[in-house]
Amino acid sequence: MSLWGGRFKEKASVQFKKFNDSLPVDYRMAVQDIVGSIAWAGAIHKVGVLSDDELVNLQNALNELKASVEQNPNQILESDAEDIHSWVETQLIEKTGDLGKKLHTGRSRNDQVATDLKLWCKETGGDLLFALVNLQQAMMNLAEREKGTVLPGYTHLQRAQPVTFGHWCLAYVEMFNRDIGRLKDALYRLDVSPLGSGALAGTAYPIDRKTLAHNLGFRAATMNSLDAVSDRDHVIELLASASISMMHLSRFAEDLIFYNSGEAGFVEMSDLVSSGSSLMPQKKNPDACELIRGKTGRVVGSLAGMLTTMKALSLAYNKDMQEDKEGLFDALDTWLECMEMAVLVADGLKVNRSRTLAAAQQGYANATELADYLVSKDIPFREAHHIVGEVVLAAIEKGCPLEDLTLTQLQTFSGKIGQDVYQHLSIESTLDKREALGGTSRSQVEQAIANIQSGNEEILNEQVAGAPGKHQVNVALQQVKQRLDAQRAAVMSVRRARMSDVEKIHQLVDYWANEGEILPRTQENIIHDVQNFVVAEIGGEVVGCASLYIYQKGLAEIRSVVVDKEFHRQGQGKALVQYLLEFANQMELKTVIVLTYIPDYFSALGFGLIDKSSLADNIIEDSDQSANKNPNEEVAMEYIVDRLEK
């Protein structure tokens, strides 16, 4: 059904219809269109367009349609509707008859599509923000692992000064941190609702647009109807954020492609992100990095295309703006995929530490240290620079590093060079001197990792605290924070249990069982079930444990969550539970339950109370009551694992 056929005597040609229709692209905004329609129904009900019964009928029909779309979005593509708005309206009319035709009162497709797209961008922004933080975390994990690894630093692709591999990782962490800032800024600016702006002049109905905006999760409503329906700055800003971030990812990929080359041999890519040659069996190609580098042009091209489309459009809406979504969707999909692939690359990277050290010791990377040494002997830097240049030339002629020149040989260039010069020429000395803020010394790398880790938490906490329960971006950020916490638990202190942990697990379980806090478990039972346990470590010592018992496809229970009493209130229990929730997500479980006497603790971790009697008999039988507890105080709680899905 066409939404505009009354003015026309003839139908559009098949060729034009195919050229004009946007459904194959904008069907991705179906849920947002329905959500906006539900809110609009409420708004026109308040001004008397809809009766109470009509509002209920429309909202019920729209909610049914939303559930159907969420279950099977591809059903939309079977339609010959012009766009997602006409598809939703047609489906609504089929469900409610003439009532469905009343919904569009006071609304235009111009403000409707602008609203849909902003809602989609807000929700997608949460996934992108999580991916950026996740990528940062992967690089910080790698920095922590390789913080002491020596790496030659380069300028002009010439060896310059030694750095640490951890310092190299943190350079990209800084880039991704700026990407996070740009994305957050873009999400803030787009968080205003255009709904109620009509085609261009505003709606003729006395709609409370501020309340409507808040009901949709926006922080405010737009202030000018002409601008509201024709603004695509948010598309351009998101594409710009994606393009800059992809440029960073491309530099990351290029570095690793070089480091992975046979000429450098600094790193080896995981088999998970590499491919071979159909002809040369010895080849192992860094295809993941090459594709990241290649896809950067695709994202930058989308930005250039959108800028070109918008550069000469008169106010207000023009059909040219239909071109905004295809490039945006593709660019953000590509950005997200490349970030996730970069995490896989970083997680599986093997560093050849002997090769990087050998390379750092070549190329006279310690020449600057010799110059600084001469400065400490009261020689002006420019003169010291010249002297060291002559020393390097002599070392090249002799085919040896600076530190292999004898003291007598060095003193021919300056009598102020003493025996103490050699301690300044070592790689260790070169690195340790870089203690200034942002330097490559090991202590600075460790401090930077700690600062960035806490900074990320502050960023997410600040956003989530903004307007809990009302702001869709903040809801997405809450999910990001849950995922980040789960991942940090995995890499910082929690791991899967091993047979060597059995005795310590038994000690912990036995202690708290004797205290009446949990049910006892024999050592034989723990041995049999060890594959279901995870442990928390501090300084290599096991200080806590927990287990995940799978009852059936889709259902599991968290059991035996205990932490050594000397390490309480340090977050280990939370880390154990979050690790198991992330593991449950990877296992594609649907629900995780817990039987507990401390519901507030698990409520803070996202669990909700359920009726204990609703649990299957075998679950209750497996969970006998503690002798020291009142059975009436034990409650059942569940966690819906879908919350961790992207």
Cα-based distances in Å from 495 to 338, 489, 525, 599:
27, 9, 20, 25
Q: Which two tokens stand for residue 476?
A: 């997405």
Q: What is the DSSP string of 205-264?
A: S---HHHHHHHTT-SEE-S-HHHHHH--HHHHHHHHHHHHHHHHHHHHHHHHHHHHSTTT
How far apart are the C-alpha atoms of 547 and 542, rounded to whole Å?
A: 14
Contact predicate 159/266, CB 8 Å:
no
Residue 469 dihedral angles phi and psi, to the nearest 5°: 85, -10
Cβ neighbour number for residue 18 with a 10 Å cutoff: 11
HEC string for 291-352: HHHHHHHHHHHHHHHHHHHHCCCCCCCCHHHHHHHHHHHHHHHHHHHHHHHHHHHHHCCEEC
Question: Which entry of 156, 500, 613, 614 is annotated as an active-site residue?
Answer: 156
Q: Residue 402: is it exposed, middle or buried by C-beta count within 10 angstroms (0-12/13-18/19+)?
A: buried
How far apart are the C-alpha atoms of 43 and 114, rounded to whole Å?
A: 17
Place of tokens 């009852």: 551
Could you tell me which of 73, 76, 170, 191 has the C-alpha nearest to residue 126?
A: 191
Question: Which entry of 2, 277, 354, 376 is annotated as an active-site residue?
Answer: 277
User: Is 156 in the active site?
Assistant: yes
Cβ neighbour number for residue 370 with a 10 Å cutoff: 25
Amino acid present at 634: E
Whether cis (ω within 30° of 0) applies to the bond prior to 316 is yes
Residue 382 dihedral angles phi and psi, to the nearest 5°: -60, -40
Cβ neighbour number for residue 182 with a 10 Å cutoff: 17
Place of tokens 């049999």: 528
Which residues are marked as active site? 156, 277
